[in-house]
Structure 1
Amino acid sequence: MLLYTLIGGYMLTSMILFKYPTLLHKKKKVKFLCQHISHRGGAGESYENTMCAFKRAVGIGTQMLELDCHLTRDGEVVVSHDQNLLRSTGIDKNIAELDYKDLPLLKQCLPIDFDPDVEYVGSAKEEDRRFALLREVFEAFPNIPINIDIKINNDRLISKVSDLIKEFNREEYTVWGNFSDEVTQKCYKMNPNVNLLFSMQRVAMLILLMYTGLLPFVPLKETHLEIFLPSIYLRRKGEPSPTFLPLEKLVVRTINVLLVRPCLFNHLRARGIHVYFWVLNKDEEFERAFNLGATGVMTDYPTRLKLFLKKRTIE
Protein backbone atom coordinates (compact mmCIF):
# COMPACT_ATOMS: atom_id res chain seq x y z
CA MET A 1 0.00 0.00 0.00
CA LEU A 2 2.82 2.40 0.87
CA LEU A 3 4.50 1.65 -2.47
CA TYR A 4 1.32 2.50 -4.39
CA THR A 5 0.97 5.72 -2.41
CA LEU A 6 4.56 6.74 -3.18
CA ILE A 7 4.19 5.94 -6.88
CA GLY A 8 0.90 7.80 -7.04
CA GLY A 9 2.39 10.81 -5.27
CA TYR A 10 5.37 10.83 -7.63
CA MET A 11 3.16 10.63 -10.72
CA LEU A 12 0.85 13.39 -9.49
CA THR A 13 3.76 15.67 -8.58
CA SER A 14 5.43 14.99 -11.93
CA MET A 15 2.24 15.81 -13.83
CA ILE A 16 1.70 19.06 -11.94
CA LEU A 17 5.32 20.21 -12.40
CA PHE A 18 5.28 19.13 -16.06
CA LYS A 19 2.40 21.53 -16.65
CA TYR A 20 3.65 24.23 -14.29
CA PRO A 21 7.46 23.90 -14.27
CA THR A 22 8.08 27.37 -12.84
CA LEU A 23 6.84 26.05 -9.51
CA LEU A 24 10.27 24.43 -9.28
CA HIS A 25 12.46 26.10 -11.91
CA LYS A 26 13.14 29.74 -12.63
CA LYS A 27 12.05 30.57 -16.16
CA LYS A 28 14.96 31.32 -18.49
CA LYS A 29 15.05 34.88 -19.74
CA VAL A 30 16.29 34.71 -23.32
CA LYS A 31 16.60 38.25 -24.68
CA PHE A 32 15.12 37.44 -28.10
CA LEU A 33 12.13 35.60 -29.53
CA CYS A 34 12.39 34.56 -33.18
CA GLN A 35 9.74 33.03 -35.40
CA HIS A 36 11.61 33.70 -38.64
CA ILE A 37 15.10 32.17 -38.93
CA SER A 38 17.14 32.17 -42.13
CA HIS A 39 19.10 28.95 -42.60
CA ARG A 40 22.62 29.82 -43.80
CA GLY A 41 21.16 33.26 -44.46
CA GLY A 42 18.55 31.81 -46.84
CA ALA A 43 20.32 29.28 -49.06
CA GLY A 44 17.41 29.10 -51.50
CA GLU A 45 17.43 32.83 -52.25
CA SER A 46 21.11 33.74 -52.14
CA TYR A 47 24.55 32.17 -51.86
CA GLU A 48 24.58 30.35 -48.52
CA ASN A 49 26.55 31.75 -45.59
CA THR A 50 27.66 34.90 -47.45
CA MET A 51 27.31 38.55 -46.53
CA CYS A 52 25.07 38.89 -49.58
CA ALA A 53 22.68 36.28 -48.14
CA PHE A 54 22.74 37.74 -44.63
CA LYS A 55 22.05 41.29 -45.85
CA ARG A 56 19.20 40.11 -48.03
CA ALA A 57 17.61 38.07 -45.23
CA VAL A 58 17.83 40.95 -42.75
CA GLY A 59 16.36 43.26 -45.39
CA ILE A 60 13.40 40.90 -45.76
CA GLY A 61 12.89 40.98 -42.01
CA THR A 62 14.35 37.77 -40.68
CA GLN A 63 14.64 37.73 -36.91
CA MET A 64 17.65 35.41 -36.69
CA LEU A 65 20.55 34.34 -38.89
CA GLU A 66 21.73 30.72 -38.72
CA LEU A 67 25.30 30.06 -39.82
CA ASP A 68 28.19 27.60 -39.52
CA CYS A 69 31.85 28.16 -38.61
CA HIS A 70 35.24 26.72 -39.44
CA LEU A 71 38.81 27.85 -38.86
CA THR A 72 41.26 28.66 -41.64
CA ARG A 73 44.96 27.79 -41.51
CA ASP A 74 45.80 31.38 -40.50
CA GLY A 75 43.28 31.31 -37.65
CA GLU A 76 40.35 33.22 -39.14
CA VAL A 77 36.82 32.15 -38.19
CA VAL A 78 35.16 31.69 -41.56
CA VAL A 79 31.44 31.17 -42.15
CA SER A 80 30.92 27.91 -44.02
CA HIS A 81 28.84 24.78 -43.58
CA ASP A 82 31.34 22.34 -45.12
CA GLN A 83 34.90 21.81 -43.97
CA ASN A 84 35.75 20.42 -47.39
CA LEU A 85 35.27 22.90 -50.23
CA LEU A 86 34.37 20.46 -53.01
CA ARG A 87 30.59 20.83 -52.84
CA SER A 88 30.58 24.59 -52.53
CA THR A 89 33.54 25.60 -54.71
CA GLY A 90 34.54 22.57 -56.79
CA ILE A 91 37.98 22.55 -55.12
CA ASP A 92 38.83 19.42 -53.11
CA LYS A 93 40.55 21.18 -50.22
CA ASN A 94 39.72 21.61 -46.55
CA ILE A 95 39.27 25.11 -45.13
CA ALA A 96 41.85 24.30 -42.45
CA GLU A 97 44.47 23.78 -45.20
CA LEU A 98 44.12 27.31 -46.61
CA ASP A 99 44.65 30.86 -45.45
CA TYR A 100 41.54 33.01 -45.62
CA LYS A 101 42.85 35.08 -48.56
CA ASP A 102 43.31 31.91 -50.59
CA LEU A 103 39.78 30.54 -50.20
CA PRO A 104 38.12 30.10 -53.61
CA LEU A 105 34.78 31.67 -54.49
CA LEU A 106 31.56 29.72 -54.21
CA LYS A 107 30.33 28.07 -57.40
CA GLN A 108 27.87 30.13 -59.39
CA CYS A 109 25.39 27.21 -59.24
CA LEU A 110 25.15 25.95 -55.68
CA PRO A 111 23.10 22.91 -54.56
CA ILE A 112 20.58 23.41 -51.74
CA ASP A 113 20.93 20.63 -49.17
CA PHE A 114 17.33 20.71 -47.97
CA ASP A 115 15.85 21.18 -51.41
CA PRO A 116 17.90 18.53 -53.25
CA ASP A 117 16.28 18.94 -56.67
CA VAL A 118 17.09 22.65 -56.77
CA GLU A 119 20.27 24.68 -57.24
CA TYR A 120 20.66 28.34 -56.40
CA VAL A 121 21.91 30.19 -59.49
CA GLY A 122 22.79 33.75 -58.71
CA SER A 123 24.96 36.66 -59.66
CA ALA A 124 28.30 36.20 -61.36
CA LYS A 125 29.71 38.99 -59.18
CA GLU A 126 32.69 37.75 -57.19
CA GLU A 127 31.75 39.77 -54.11
CA ASP A 128 28.47 37.87 -53.77
CA ARG A 129 30.30 34.51 -53.73
CA ARG A 130 33.02 35.33 -51.21
CA PHE A 131 33.27 33.46 -47.90
CA ALA A 132 32.35 35.71 -44.99
CA LEU A 133 34.23 36.07 -41.74
CA LEU A 134 32.26 35.76 -38.51
CA ARG A 135 33.74 39.11 -37.50
CA GLU A 136 32.14 40.73 -40.56
CA VAL A 137 28.74 39.28 -39.68
CA PHE A 138 28.95 40.54 -36.10
CA GLU A 139 30.01 43.99 -37.30
CA ALA A 140 27.23 44.24 -39.87
CA PHE A 141 24.39 42.97 -37.66
CA PRO A 142 25.05 44.01 -34.05
CA ASN A 143 21.38 43.68 -33.02
CA ILE A 144 20.35 40.53 -34.92
CA PRO A 145 20.34 37.24 -32.97
CA ILE A 146 22.72 34.72 -34.52
CA ASN A 147 22.64 30.94 -34.27
CA ILE A 148 26.14 29.44 -34.63
CA ASP A 149 26.82 25.81 -35.43
CA ILE A 150 30.40 24.96 -34.38
CA LYS A 151 31.05 22.43 -37.12
CA ILE A 152 34.14 20.61 -35.86
CA ASN A 153 35.61 19.57 -32.53
CA ASN A 154 38.37 22.16 -32.38
CA ASP A 155 39.25 23.90 -29.11
CA ARG A 156 40.90 26.78 -30.93
CA LEU A 157 37.80 27.39 -33.05
CA ILE A 158 35.54 27.38 -29.98
CA SER A 159 37.89 29.76 -28.16
CA LYS A 160 38.07 32.18 -31.10
CA VAL A 161 34.29 32.21 -31.56
CA SER A 162 33.87 32.86 -27.84
CA ASP A 163 36.38 35.72 -28.02
CA LEU A 164 34.45 37.30 -30.91
CA ILE A 165 31.15 36.93 -29.07
CA LYS A 166 32.63 38.72 -26.05
CA GLU A 167 34.36 41.36 -28.17
CA PHE A 168 31.07 42.33 -29.81
CA ASN A 169 29.11 41.99 -26.55
CA ARG A 170 26.80 39.37 -28.09
CA GLU A 171 26.53 36.76 -25.34
CA GLU A 172 22.81 37.36 -24.82
CA TYR A 173 22.06 37.52 -28.56
CA THR A 174 23.91 34.41 -29.70
CA VAL A 175 23.13 30.71 -29.43
CA TRP A 176 25.75 28.06 -30.19
CA GLY A 177 26.48 24.35 -30.06
CA ASN A 178 26.54 21.26 -32.25
CA PHE A 179 24.94 17.83 -32.67
CA SER A 180 28.02 16.48 -30.89
CA ASP A 181 27.66 16.55 -27.11
CA GLU A 182 31.42 16.85 -26.70
CA VAL A 183 31.53 20.01 -28.81
CA THR A 184 28.47 21.50 -27.12
CA GLN A 185 29.84 20.83 -23.64
CA LYS A 186 33.10 22.50 -24.64
CA CYS A 187 31.13 25.54 -25.80
CA TYR A 188 29.31 25.71 -22.48
CA LYS A 189 32.53 25.33 -20.50
CA MET A 190 34.26 27.99 -22.61
CA ASN A 191 31.47 30.54 -22.11
CA PRO A 192 28.39 29.56 -20.07
CA ASN A 193 26.85 33.00 -20.66
CA VAL A 194 26.05 32.21 -24.30
CA ASN A 195 22.68 30.62 -25.10
CA LEU A 196 23.12 26.88 -25.65
CA LEU A 197 21.69 24.29 -28.04
CA PHE A 198 20.72 20.75 -27.07
CA SER A 199 23.14 18.20 -28.52
CA MET A 200 21.74 14.95 -29.92
CA GLN A 201 22.81 13.13 -26.76
CA ARG A 202 20.96 15.64 -24.63
CA VAL A 203 17.88 15.34 -26.86
CA ALA A 204 17.91 11.59 -26.20
CA MET A 205 18.22 12.35 -22.48
CA LEU A 206 15.29 14.76 -22.78
CA ILE A 207 13.11 12.00 -24.23
CA LEU A 208 14.14 9.56 -21.51
CA LEU A 209 13.42 12.08 -18.76
CA MET A 210 10.02 12.91 -20.21
CA TYR A 211 8.83 9.31 -20.43
CA THR A 212 10.07 8.42 -16.95
CA GLY A 213 8.37 11.48 -15.46
CA LEU A 214 11.68 12.91 -14.27
CA LEU A 215 11.89 15.87 -16.66
CA PRO A 216 10.02 18.34 -14.42
CA PHE A 217 12.52 17.71 -11.61
CA VAL A 218 15.73 18.10 -13.65
CA PRO A 219 17.40 21.50 -14.27
CA LEU A 220 18.37 22.20 -17.90
CA LYS A 221 21.23 24.46 -18.87
CA GLU A 222 20.22 24.58 -22.56
CA THR A 223 18.10 27.44 -23.88
CA HIS A 224 17.28 26.22 -27.42
CA LEU A 225 16.00 22.93 -28.81
CA GLU A 226 16.48 22.55 -32.57
CA ILE A 227 14.86 19.52 -34.16
CA PHE A 228 13.72 18.38 -37.58
CA LEU A 229 10.38 17.12 -38.78
CA PRO A 230 10.93 13.46 -39.76
CA SER A 231 9.80 14.11 -43.33
CA ILE A 232 12.55 16.70 -43.71
CA TYR A 233 15.24 14.16 -42.90
CA LEU A 234 14.02 11.82 -45.62
CA ARG A 235 13.78 14.69 -48.08
CA ARG A 236 17.36 15.71 -47.44
CA LYS A 237 18.67 12.17 -47.73
CA GLY A 238 16.82 11.62 -50.97
CA GLU A 239 15.41 8.22 -51.81
CA PRO A 240 16.92 5.67 -49.39
CA SER A 241 18.20 2.44 -50.85
CA PRO A 242 15.78 -0.53 -50.65
CA THR A 243 18.21 -2.29 -48.29
CA PHE A 244 17.92 0.37 -45.59
CA LEU A 245 14.43 1.64 -46.28
CA PRO A 246 12.61 -0.37 -43.56
CA LEU A 247 15.16 0.58 -40.87
CA GLU A 248 15.22 4.23 -41.90
CA LYS A 249 11.43 4.44 -41.85
CA LEU A 250 11.40 2.81 -38.41
CA VAL A 251 13.91 5.32 -37.02
CA VAL A 252 12.00 8.27 -38.47
CA ARG A 253 8.67 7.00 -37.15
CA THR A 254 10.20 6.41 -33.72
CA ILE A 255 11.50 9.98 -33.61
CA ASN A 256 8.12 11.25 -34.73
CA VAL A 257 6.29 9.36 -31.97
CA LEU A 258 8.73 10.02 -29.13
CA LEU A 259 10.00 13.53 -29.75
CA VAL A 260 7.49 15.48 -31.81
CA ARG A 261 5.09 16.01 -28.92
CA PRO A 262 3.27 19.32 -28.32
CA CYS A 263 3.15 18.57 -24.57
CA LEU A 264 6.97 18.48 -24.50
CA PHE A 265 7.28 21.73 -26.44
CA ASN A 266 4.75 23.41 -24.16
CA HIS A 267 6.73 22.29 -21.12
CA LEU A 268 10.00 23.59 -22.54
CA ARG A 269 8.48 26.91 -23.57
CA ALA A 270 7.04 27.30 -20.07
CA ARG A 271 10.63 26.97 -18.82
CA GLY A 272 11.79 29.67 -21.24
CA ILE A 273 13.41 27.24 -23.70
CA HIS A 274 12.87 28.01 -27.37
CA VAL A 275 11.90 25.27 -29.85
CA TYR A 276 13.01 25.60 -33.48
CA PHE A 277 12.21 23.31 -36.41
CA TRP A 278 14.64 22.98 -39.31
CA VAL A 279 14.89 23.18 -42.28
CA LEU A 280 11.35 23.81 -43.52
CA ASN A 281 10.75 25.19 -47.00
CA LYS A 282 7.03 24.75 -47.71
CA ASP A 283 3.92 26.40 -46.34
CA GLU A 284 2.44 23.10 -45.13
CA GLU A 285 5.66 22.43 -43.18
CA PHE A 286 5.58 25.90 -41.63
CA GLU A 287 1.95 25.32 -40.63
CA ARG A 288 2.64 21.96 -39.02
CA ALA A 289 5.62 23.27 -37.06
CA PHE A 290 3.72 26.19 -35.53
CA ASN A 291 0.68 24.01 -34.85
CA LEU A 292 2.95 21.64 -32.92
CA GLY A 293 4.08 24.53 -30.74
CA ALA A 294 7.35 25.64 -32.32
CA THR A 295 8.78 28.96 -31.22
CA GLY A 296 10.37 29.48 -34.62
CA VAL A 297 11.09 27.95 -38.01
CA MET A 298 14.38 27.79 -39.89
CA THR A 299 14.12 28.05 -43.68
CA ASP A 300 16.13 28.32 -46.88
CA TYR A 301 13.46 30.66 -48.26
CA PRO A 302 13.10 33.78 -46.07
CA THR A 303 10.63 35.46 -48.44
CA ARG A 304 8.34 32.42 -48.43
CA LEU A 305 8.33 32.21 -44.63
CA LYS A 306 7.72 35.94 -44.27
CA LEU A 307 4.67 35.76 -46.55
CA PHE A 308 3.38 32.74 -44.61
CA LEU A 309 3.73 34.52 -41.26
CA LYS A 310 2.07 37.64 -42.63
CA LYS A 311 -0.88 35.62 -43.94
CA ARG A 312 -1.10 33.66 -40.68
CA THR A 313 -1.22 36.90 -38.66
CA ILE A 314 -3.98 38.32 -40.83
CA GLU A 315 -6.06 35.16 -40.57
Structure 2
Amino acid sequence: MTPHPRDPHPYLADASRPRVIAHRGFVSDELAQRGVAENTRAAFTAALAAGADILETDCHLTRDGAVVLAHDADLSRVTGDPREIGAVDRVELARIFAERGGLLTLEEALAEYPRARWNIDVKSRAVAAPLGRIVARHGARVLVTSFSDSLRRTAFAAAAGERPAILPATSPGRGALVRVLLASATGSRRAVRRALAGLDALQIPERQGRIRVLTPRLVAAAHANGVEVHVWTVNDADRMRELTAMGVDGVVTDRTDLALATLRP
Protein backbone atom coordinates (compact mmCIF):
# COMPACT_ATOMS: atom_id res chain seq x y z
CA MET A 1 0.00 0.00 0.00
CA THR A 2 1.45 3.38 -1.00
CA PRO A 3 1.63 5.83 1.94
CA HIS A 4 -0.47 8.94 1.59
CA PRO A 5 1.81 12.01 1.54
CA ARG A 6 1.21 14.30 4.48
CA ASP A 7 0.30 17.93 3.98
CA PRO A 8 3.39 20.05 3.35
CA HIS A 9 4.79 22.37 5.97
CA PRO A 10 3.66 25.98 5.34
CA TYR A 11 7.25 26.77 4.34
CA LEU A 12 6.79 24.49 1.32
CA ALA A 13 3.07 24.92 0.73
CA ASP A 14 3.31 27.22 -2.30
CA ALA A 15 3.22 25.80 -5.80
CA SER A 16 6.48 27.20 -7.18
CA ARG A 17 8.65 24.47 -8.70
CA PRO A 18 11.49 23.98 -9.13
CA ARG A 19 12.54 26.13 -6.18
CA VAL A 20 15.53 28.41 -6.66
CA ILE A 21 17.39 28.58 -3.36
CA ALA A 22 19.95 31.38 -3.23
CA HIS A 23 23.10 29.98 -1.62
CA ARG A 24 24.33 32.64 0.83
CA GLY A 25 22.43 35.20 -1.22
CA PHE A 26 23.48 36.23 -4.70
CA VAL A 27 26.74 38.00 -5.48
CA SER A 28 26.82 38.90 -9.17
CA ASP A 29 30.07 39.72 -10.94
CA GLU A 30 29.21 43.40 -10.63
CA LEU A 31 28.62 43.13 -6.88
CA ALA A 32 31.80 41.12 -6.44
CA GLN A 33 33.78 43.84 -8.19
CA ARG A 34 32.34 46.31 -5.67
CA GLY A 35 33.57 44.14 -2.80
CA VAL A 36 30.19 42.72 -1.78
CA ALA A 37 30.53 39.48 0.17
CA GLU A 38 28.22 36.49 0.57
CA ASN A 39 25.71 36.34 3.43
CA THR A 40 25.32 40.11 3.53
CA ARG A 41 22.40 42.50 3.24
CA ALA A 42 23.42 43.39 -0.33
CA ALA A 43 23.69 39.72 -1.34
CA PHE A 44 20.24 38.83 0.00
CA THR A 45 18.65 41.94 -1.47
CA ALA A 46 20.13 40.99 -4.85
CA ALA A 47 18.85 37.42 -4.56
CA LEU A 48 15.31 38.56 -3.90
CA ALA A 49 15.49 41.18 -6.66
CA ALA A 50 16.58 38.46 -9.09
CA GLY A 51 13.58 36.32 -8.07
CA ALA A 52 14.94 33.70 -5.66
CA ASP A 53 12.29 31.65 -3.87
CA ILE A 54 14.32 30.93 -0.74
CA LEU A 55 17.36 32.53 0.88
CA GLU A 56 19.96 30.11 2.22
CA THR A 57 22.27 31.23 5.00
CA ASP A 58 24.35 30.12 7.99
CA CYS A 59 24.64 31.43 11.53
CA HIS A 60 27.34 31.96 14.14
CA LEU A 61 27.34 33.64 17.54
CA THR A 62 29.40 36.77 18.24
CA ARG A 63 31.35 37.42 21.43
CA ASP A 64 28.49 39.51 22.80
CA GLY A 65 25.80 36.97 21.96
CA ALA A 66 24.40 38.20 18.62
CA VAL A 67 23.34 35.59 16.06
CA VAL A 68 24.85 36.77 12.76
CA LEU A 69 24.65 35.48 9.20
CA ALA A 70 28.01 33.98 8.24
CA HIS A 71 29.22 30.66 6.90
CA ASP A 72 32.76 30.32 8.22
CA ALA A 73 33.74 30.20 11.87
CA ASP A 74 36.39 32.85 11.20
CA LEU A 75 36.72 35.93 9.02
CA SER A 76 39.83 34.99 7.07
CA ARG A 77 38.31 33.86 3.75
CA VAL A 78 35.81 36.70 3.45
CA THR A 79 37.70 39.63 4.99
CA GLY A 80 41.30 38.54 5.50
CA ASP A 81 40.90 38.91 9.27
CA PRO A 82 42.02 35.67 10.99
CA ARG A 83 39.82 36.09 14.06
CA GLU A 84 36.91 33.79 14.83
CA ILE A 85 33.46 35.36 14.76
CA GLY A 86 33.00 34.26 18.35
CA ALA A 87 35.90 36.51 19.36
CA VAL A 88 34.41 39.69 17.82
CA ASP A 89 31.52 41.88 19.00
CA ARG A 90 28.57 42.59 16.72
CA VAL A 91 29.36 46.32 16.45
CA GLU A 92 32.89 45.62 15.27
CA LEU A 93 31.65 43.02 12.80
CA ALA A 94 29.20 45.59 11.44
CA ARG A 95 32.12 47.97 10.84
CA ILE A 96 34.10 45.24 9.09
CA PHE A 97 31.20 44.44 6.76
CA ALA A 98 30.06 48.01 6.19
CA GLU A 99 31.84 48.17 2.83
CA ARG A 100 31.30 44.50 1.98
CA GLY A 101 27.53 44.53 1.69
CA GLY A 102 26.41 44.99 5.29
CA LEU A 103 26.28 42.63 8.26
CA LEU A 104 22.92 41.11 9.20
CA THR A 105 21.91 39.57 12.47
CA LEU A 106 19.29 36.85 12.22
CA GLU A 107 16.74 39.08 13.92
CA GLU A 108 17.45 41.87 11.42
CA ALA A 109 17.19 39.50 8.47
CA LEU A 110 13.79 38.19 9.55
CA ALA A 111 12.53 41.73 10.18
CA GLU A 112 13.95 43.41 7.07
CA TYR A 113 12.72 40.72 4.67
CA PRO A 114 9.32 39.92 6.21
CA ARG A 115 8.01 37.90 3.28
CA ALA A 116 11.22 36.00 2.50
CA ARG A 117 11.63 32.34 3.32
CA TRP A 118 14.92 31.38 4.96
CA ASN A 119 16.92 28.17 4.87
CA ILE A 120 19.17 28.42 7.95
CA ASP A 121 22.17 26.21 8.73
CA VAL A 122 23.17 25.92 12.40
CA LYS A 123 26.97 26.11 12.39
CA SER A 124 27.98 25.75 16.04
CA ARG A 125 26.77 24.51 19.38
CA ALA A 126 26.96 28.03 20.81
CA VAL A 127 24.50 29.42 18.27
CA ALA A 128 21.98 26.57 18.23
CA ALA A 129 19.73 27.53 21.14
CA PRO A 130 19.78 31.30 20.55
CA LEU A 131 18.96 30.66 16.89
CA GLY A 132 16.06 28.39 17.83
CA ARG A 133 14.56 31.00 20.14
CA ILE A 134 14.79 33.69 17.44
CA VAL A 135 13.16 31.67 14.65
CA ALA A 136 10.35 30.33 16.85
CA ARG A 137 8.03 33.21 15.91
CA HIS A 138 8.76 32.74 12.20
CA GLY A 139 8.27 28.99 11.84
CA ALA A 140 6.07 29.21 8.74
CA ARG A 141 8.88 30.77 6.71
CA VAL A 142 12.00 29.15 8.14
CA LEU A 143 13.71 25.81 7.57
CA VAL A 144 16.39 24.88 10.10
CA THR A 145 19.10 22.43 9.18
CA SER A 146 22.64 21.44 10.12
CA PHE A 147 25.24 18.85 9.20
CA SER A 148 24.93 17.88 12.87
CA ASP A 149 21.61 16.38 13.93
CA SER A 150 22.54 17.20 17.52
CA LEU A 151 22.78 20.91 16.72
CA ARG A 152 19.55 20.74 14.73
CA ARG A 153 17.74 19.10 17.64
CA THR A 154 19.12 21.69 20.07
CA ALA A 155 17.79 24.51 17.89
CA PHE A 156 14.40 22.83 17.63
CA ALA A 157 14.17 22.23 21.35
CA ALA A 158 14.86 25.92 21.95
CA ALA A 159 12.22 26.88 19.39
CA ALA A 160 9.68 24.51 20.92
CA GLY A 161 10.37 26.03 24.33
CA GLU A 162 8.96 29.31 23.02
CA ARG A 163 5.64 27.53 22.36
CA PRO A 164 5.24 28.73 18.77
CA ALA A 165 2.13 28.13 16.70
CA ILE A 166 4.29 26.52 14.00
CA LEU A 167 7.72 24.98 14.41
CA PRO A 168 10.17 25.56 11.54
CA ALA A 169 10.55 23.07 8.72
CA THR A 170 13.67 20.91 8.72
CA SER A 171 16.00 18.73 6.68
CA PRO A 172 18.35 16.03 7.99
CA GLY A 173 21.90 16.18 9.23
CA ARG A 174 24.44 13.55 8.25
CA GLY A 175 23.24 10.88 10.66
CA ALA A 176 19.57 11.21 9.78
CA LEU A 177 20.42 11.27 6.06
CA VAL A 178 22.40 8.03 6.37
CA ARG A 179 19.33 6.41 7.95
CA VAL A 180 17.19 7.63 5.06
CA LEU A 181 19.65 6.28 2.48
CA LEU A 182 19.90 2.89 4.20
CA ALA A 183 16.13 2.65 4.43
CA SER A 184 15.75 3.58 0.77
CA ALA A 185 18.28 0.92 -0.23
CA THR A 186 16.25 -1.80 1.50
CA GLY A 187 13.14 -0.97 -0.50
CA SER A 188 11.05 -1.20 2.66
CA ARG A 189 8.31 1.43 2.59
CA ARG A 190 7.84 1.15 6.33
CA ALA A 191 11.56 1.72 6.96
CA VAL A 192 11.61 4.70 4.61
CA ARG A 193 8.54 6.20 6.26
CA ARG A 194 10.17 5.91 9.69
CA ALA A 195 13.45 7.39 8.46
CA LEU A 196 11.66 10.37 6.86
CA ALA A 197 9.37 11.05 9.81
CA GLY A 198 9.65 14.64 10.98
CA LEU A 199 11.54 15.79 7.87
CA ASP A 200 10.19 18.26 5.35
CA ALA A 201 12.98 18.26 2.78
CA LEU A 202 16.10 16.30 1.92
CA GLN A 203 18.78 18.88 1.18
CA ILE A 204 21.61 16.86 -0.24
CA PRO A 205 24.60 16.81 -2.57
CA GLU A 206 24.52 14.57 -5.60
CA ARG A 207 27.49 12.63 -4.27
CA GLN A 208 29.46 12.38 -1.07
CA GLY A 209 32.91 11.18 -2.10
CA ARG A 210 32.38 7.89 -3.92
CA ILE A 211 28.86 7.47 -2.60
CA ARG A 212 25.98 8.55 -4.82
CA VAL A 213 23.44 10.26 -2.59
CA LEU A 214 20.86 11.40 -5.13
CA THR A 215 19.06 8.60 -6.97
CA PRO A 216 15.68 8.26 -8.69
CA ARG A 217 14.71 5.76 -5.97
CA LEU A 218 15.45 8.29 -3.24
CA VAL A 219 13.46 11.01 -5.00
CA ALA A 220 10.50 8.66 -5.43
CA ALA A 221 10.64 7.56 -1.79
CA ALA A 222 10.80 11.14 -0.56
CA HIS A 223 7.88 12.23 -2.70
CA ALA A 224 5.78 9.24 -1.64
CA ASN A 225 6.13 10.53 1.92
CA GLY A 226 5.50 14.21 1.21
CA VAL A 227 9.18 15.22 1.47
CA GLU A 228 10.87 17.50 -1.05
CA VAL A 229 14.36 16.99 -2.49
CA HIS A 230 16.73 19.96 -2.84
CA VAL A 231 20.22 19.51 -4.30
CA TRP A 232 23.28 21.63 -3.54
CA THR A 233 25.28 23.40 -4.88
CA VAL A 234 24.33 23.52 -8.58
CA ASN A 235 25.76 26.23 -10.83
CA ASP A 236 25.57 24.57 -14.27
CA ALA A 237 22.50 25.14 -16.45
CA ASP A 238 22.52 21.71 -18.09
CA ARG A 239 22.79 19.98 -14.75
CA MET A 240 19.92 22.07 -13.38
CA ARG A 241 17.73 20.82 -16.23
CA GLU A 242 18.79 17.21 -15.70
CA LEU A 243 18.08 17.35 -11.99
CA THR A 244 14.64 18.86 -12.37
CA ALA A 245 13.83 16.29 -15.07
CA MET A 246 14.68 13.65 -12.45
CA GLY A 247 12.07 15.21 -10.18
CA VAL A 248 14.24 17.29 -7.87
CA ASP A 249 12.11 20.01 -6.27
CA GLY A 250 14.77 22.68 -5.86
CA VAL A 251 18.38 23.63 -6.50
CA VAL A 252 20.65 25.46 -4.11
CA THR A 253 22.77 27.71 -6.27
CA ASP A 254 25.27 30.56 -6.27
CA ARG A 255 23.77 31.62 -9.61
CA THR A 256 20.24 32.75 -8.90
CA ASP A 257 20.19 34.57 -12.23
CA LEU A 258 21.24 31.51 -14.22
CA ALA A 259 18.85 29.21 -12.35
CA LEU A 260 15.85 31.43 -13.04
CA ALA A 261 16.77 31.91 -16.69
CA THR A 262 17.22 28.13 -17.07
CA LEU A 263 14.35 26.76 -15.04
CA ARG A 264 11.76 29.50 -15.56
CA PRO A 265 12.48 30.93 -18.99
Scaled to the shorter chain, the TM-score interval is 0.7 to 0.9
2:43 pairs with 1:58? no
Secondary structure in structure 2 of the residue aligned to 1:92: coil
- Residues in 2 aligned to 1:162 and 1:281: alpha-carbon distance in whole angstroms: 30
Aligned residues of 1:177 and 1:184 also touching (Cα < 8 A): yes
Shift of 1:273: 1.2
Q: 2:242 aligns with which of 288, 292, 298?
A: 288
Q: Partner residue of 2:3?
A: 21
Shift of 1:199: 0.7
Post-superposition Cα deviations, 1:243-288, rounded to whole Å, max 9, x if no partner, equal: xxxxxxxx42xx22xx322222122123221210011111012112
2:204 pairs with 1:227? yes
Q: Partner residue of 2:181?
A: 207
2:265 pairs with 1:297? no
- Residues in 2 aligned to 1:216 and 1:200: alpha-carbon distance in whole angstroms: 16
- Residues in 2 aligned to 1:188 and 1:98: alpha-carbon distance in whole angstroms: 26
Q: 1:262 aligns with which of 190, 211, 216?
A: 216
Q: Partner residue of 1:195?
A: 169
Aligned residues of 2:130 and 2:155 also touching (Cα < 8 A): no
Map 1:124-143 onto structure 2 (within 5 A): 126-143=98-115
Q: Partner residue of 1:12?
A: none
Shift of 1:53: 0.7
2:128 pairs with 1:151? no
- Residues in 2 aligned to 1:281 and 1:211: alpha-carbon distance in whole angstroms: 28
Q: Partner residue of 1:42?
A: 26
Which ranges of structure 2 fall in alignment gaps of 5 or more residues?
A: 32-36, 161-166
Post-superposition Cα deviations, 1:205-245, rounded to whole Å, max 9, x if no partner, equal: 11111222243452611112111123xx7xxxxxxxxxxxx
Map 1:76-225 onto structure 2 (within 5 A): 76-103=66-93, 105=96, 126-154=98-126, 157-166=127-136, 169-191=137-159, 193-212=167-186, 213=188, 214-218=190-194, 220-225=197-202
**Structure 1 residue identity aligned to 2:138:** R
Which ranges of structure 1 fall in alignment gaps of 5 or more residues?
A: 1-15, 107-125, 234-250
Aligned-pair identity (%): 25
- Residues in 2 aligned to 1:164 and 1:260: alpha-carbon distance in whole angstroms: 32
Post-superposition Cα deviations, 1:5-30, rounded to whole Å, max 9, x if no partner, equal: xxxxxxxxxxx4xxx221xxx60422
Q: Partner residue of 2:34?
A: none
- Residues in 2 aligned to 1:94 and 1:216: alpha-carbon distance in whole angstroms: 40
Comparing 89-98 with 181-190, which one deviates more in the overlay? 181-190
**Structure 2 residue identity aligned to 1:174:** V
Secondary structure in structure 2 of the residue aligned to 1:275: strand
**Structure 1 residue identity aligned to 2:25:** G
Q: 1:269 to 1:185 in 2, by over 3 A?
A: same
**Structure 1 residue identity aligned to 2:185:** Y
- Residues in 1 aligned to 2:159 and 2:258: alpha-carbon distance in whole angstroms: 35
Shift of 1:62: 0.6
Aligned residues of 1:275 and 1:296 also touching (Cα < 8 A): yes
Secondary structure in structure 2 of the residue aligned to 1:21: coil
Shift of 1:189: 2.6
Aligned residues of 1:70 and 1:151 also touching (Cα < 8 A): yes
- TM-score, normalised with respect to structure 1: 0.72
